[in-house]
Structure 1
Amino acid sequence: MLVQEVLNKIHKKELTIKELADLYEVSTRTIQMKIKNLGYEWNNKQSAYYYTGTDSEPLDTDFTGLFSKVNQKLVEKKQTNSEIASASEGNRNQEESITSGELDTIDILLQSPKDRSKRVYRGFYFDNDVLNIIERVPKSYKSELVNEALRKVFKEKGLLD
């Protein structure tokens, strides 16, 4: 879906930020930040986004392209599942092929929750590029994502079995 379509649907109240957030499996704040980063600002009185950026307006930009490849695959899967009114077993097979194919544990974590083990809280500073990736996932999965990413690196370095 193009940015122009998304903004028109929001203005016409055919689509909400919450529905977009659910579709891309991100927070509503993430959706709002993506739109703001494109140069748009929300006008409460008119219930619409207006372009305030300095570059040319990105109306023909693919909205899905603003998200990670994992979120893009999830959206494609959801769209395919809604278009194909097949039996639930067919949908399950399609979901399994996506999760078992080219996705690793971090990708799978971004798709579904995992049982949580006992944890210890520690505070760390993150660089902006790393933090932007962490901010893409829902709040309840952030620790899980960081743990899995570090676990993967530590296993590759031979520090974990």
Structure 2
Amino acid sequence: MLVGELINKVTNKEITIKELAKLYHVTDQTIQRKIKKLGYSWDKKKEVYKYVGKSPQPVNIDFSTLFRKKQTVPNAPRKNKSKNKVIVRNSSSDVIDVLLVGTKASSKRVYQGFYFDKDVLSIINSVPKSYKSELINEALKKVFKEKGLL
């Protein structure tokens, strides 16, 4: 991912620093440090990265080249060892793909708490309590099937 694209996605909240850290197999602090070294500063009030470095702005640098480890090529298939499924990384990959890399499917139901956006939660709360888990499971299964993960 190019630096300009990465900065725009973080600013537009399409991806988080935590998701980038997972994608590049580093810590959140490492991602923040690399962005700062490129000349960007986080504006807390506006919640955007501002370029404060010397011209020209490094928007066309491939962000993965800033790490010592060799990163996976964006268009190369990547194997998920736990499922032996190939997840293809390309320009159509989205946040769900990033989050799912390296996850395992469990055969048993397990209680898990999550934070939901208010609009999503209002839909979940509109069904009877006994059907909420079914609704969430079916909605997620549909997305995962579309992604080829189930």
| Moved beyond 6 Å, runs of 4+ | none
Please report how far the alpha carbon of residue 68 of structure 1 lies from its aligned counterpart in structure 2 after TM superposition.
Answer: 1.7
For 2:78, the aligned partner's letter is: N
Give the aligned partner of residue 63 of structure 2.
63
Give the aligned partner of residue 6 of structure 2.
6
Q: What is the alpha-carbon distance in structure 1 between the residues aligned to residue 54 and residue 84 of structure 2?
A: 49
Matched, 1:37 2:34: no
Q: What is the alpha-carbon distance in structure 1 between the residues aligned to residue 16 and residue 76 of structure 2?
A: 17
Matched, 1:81 2:74: no
Please report how far the alpha carbon of residue 78 of structure 1 lies from its aligned counterpart in structure 2 after TM superposition.
Answer: 9.3
Matched, 1:28 2:28: yes
Q: What is the alpha-carbon distance in structure 2 between the residues aligned to residue 43 and residue 90 of structure 1?
A: 40
Q: What is the alpha-carbon distance in structure 1 between the residues aligned to residue 74 and residue 49 of structure 2?
A: 28
Whichever structure has more helix as a proportion of its residues is 1
Evaluate the alpha carbon distance shift between residue 90 and residue 20 of structure 1 in structure 2; reply closer, same or farther with a 3 A threshold: closer
Q: What is the alpha-carbon distance in structure 2 between the residues aligned to residue 8 and residue 62 of structure 1?
A: 14
Counterpart of 1:69 in 2: which secondary structure?
coil
Please report how far the alpha carbon of residue 15 of structure 1 lies from its aligned counterpart in structure 2 after TM superposition.
Answer: 0.5
Q: What is the alpha-carbon distance in structure 2 between the residues aligned to residue 19 and residue 59 of structure 1?
A: 20
Q: Percent identity?
A: 45
TM-score, scaled relative to structure 1: 0.47
Matches within 5 A, 1:131-150: none
Q: What is the alpha-carbon distance in structure 1 between the residues aligned to residue 54 and residue 45 of structure 2?
A: 23
Q: What is the alpha-carbon distance in structure 2 between the residues aligned to residue 11 and residue 65 of structure 1?
A: 21
For 2:54, the aligned partner's letter is: T
Give the aligned partner of residue 15 of structure 1.
15
Matched, 1:50 2:50: yes
**Paired residues, what number?**
85
Structure with higher RCO (Cα < 8 A, 6+ apart): 1
For 2:45, the aligned partner's letter is: K
Cα RMSD (Å) of the superposition?
Answer: 2.7
Q: Which runs of 5+ in 2 are unaligned?
A: 87-150
Matches within 5 A, 1:108-123: none
Q: What is the alpha-carbon distance in structure 2 between the residues aligned to residue 77 and residue 15 of structure 1?
A: 16
Please report how far the alpha carbon of residue 59 of structure 1 lies from its aligned counterpart in structure 2 after TM superposition.
Answer: 0.6
Please report how far the alpha carbon of residue 79 of structure 1 lies from its aligned counterpart in structure 2 after TM superposition.
Answer: 6.1
Please report how far the alpha carbon of residue 89 of structure 1 lies from its aligned counterpart in structure 2 after TM superposition.
Answer: 3.5
Evaluate the alpha carbon distance shift between residue 35 and residue 79 of structure 1 in structure 2; reply closer, same or farther with a 3 A threshold: farther
For 1:65, the aligned partner's letter is: T
TM-score, scaled relative to structure 2: 0.50
Q: What is the alpha-carbon distance in structure 2 between the residues aligned to residue 21 and residue 32 of structure 1?
A: 9
